[in-house]
Amino acid sequence: MIIEKIINNNIVSSFDDKGKEVVVMGRGLGFKCKPGQEIDMNKVEKIFRMESSEELEHLRSVLADISLENIQVCNEIIAYAKNVITNKLSKNIYITLIDHINFAIARQREGIHFTNALQWEIKKFYHPEYTVGLKAVELIKQRMGVDLSVDEATSIALHFVNAELGTEMSNTIDITKLIQNVFKIVTYHFQINIIEDSLNYERFLTHLKFFSERVVTNRYNHGEEEEFYKIIRMQYPDSYECARKIKAYVEQEYKVPLPEEEMMYLTIHITRILKDHQGENSPKTKE
């Protein structure tokens, strides 16, 4: 590989064997070097490949002023996350996480602290991501000697949720709040405590993550299976009525219509949640 551009002593730009531009990291990789020289592959620690030239340029600008140690610990966190989170992560996570952790470390060293109001929700709804956040705090303490708070673990977890859903941070926060409110509607409608250690709960939670993302971004799939929808409405009237309340909430809060296809999937998942309560007294709907 040939050095195309030197970003700093540890970061250079180059092209891979497919002719795609990449960013290459390694201690002293650019020190006393010039464009056109061969890269010392023995020093290479990480090769960053992004989806677009704009993302690559953004990455270069982020890496230019950040210490190698900060980048290394972020790379270690992302490597750990890939073994914990099953969903594919956007390569943008390298940009957002490195930038966030760099500022988080700087804030901590300056004695600036903050609290994350969504800590409980993130821990509950995004357990794998929260696990990564806790591991990140642990690694930062081990590698950098900086003791970040649990609130920072929550913020780091949110960056991984963003990378899974491909959304902005503001959207992820709205998605998390919407999931919480949907569960509240189901709990209130049937006057039940949802059993959270069941497969049906996990399936519903997974569905709600992507349902909420579609609501927040107003991107729906519209089906054309009216006969199937009619069967579901007739077979599960109580669950469908609960779904109607969710629809009313979504349309009032987010000003977007909820397609019948979304209603059907909500109805099916709500019905499965109720099956976890078989053997108990039949839940009474509260009007």
Structural domain range at position 267? 172-275
Shared-domain flag, residues 185 and 218: yes
Tell whether the model's pLDDT for residue 255 goes beyond 80.
yes
Residue 281: pLDDT band by 50, 70, 90 thresholds?
Answer: very low
Residues 156 and 183 in one domain: no
Q: How confident is the model at residue 283 (pLDDT cuts 50, 70, 90)?
A: very low
CB count within 10 Å of CB 193 equals 9
Asked whether residue 41 is domain-assigned, the answer is: yes
Q: What is the pLDDT of residue 117?
A: 85
Q: Is 73 part of a structural domain of the chain?
A: yes
Q: Are the CB atoms for 66 and 44 separated by under 8 Å?
A: no
121-159 pLDDT tens trace: 999 999 999 999 999 999 999 999 999 999 999 999 999
CATH of the domain at 137: 1.10.1790.10
Q: For residue 224, what pLDDT is reported?
A: 63
Residue 249: its pLDDT value, please? Answer: 97
Question: Is the pLDDT assigned to residue 287 strictly greater than 70?
Answer: no
Tell me, yes or no, whether 60 lies in a domain: no
Structure confidence at residue 282 (pLDDT): 47
Burial class (CB in 10 A: 0-12, 13-18, 19+), 267: buried
Q: What is the number of structural domains in the chain?
A: 3
- Are 74 and 101 in contact by the 8 Å Cβ rule? The answer is yes
Answer yes or no: is 61 within a domain. no
Q: Say if residue 161 is in the same domain as residue 238.
A: no
| More confident of the two residues 102 and 51 | 102
- pTM for the predicted model, two decimal places: 0.83
| CATH code, 32 | 2.30.24.10
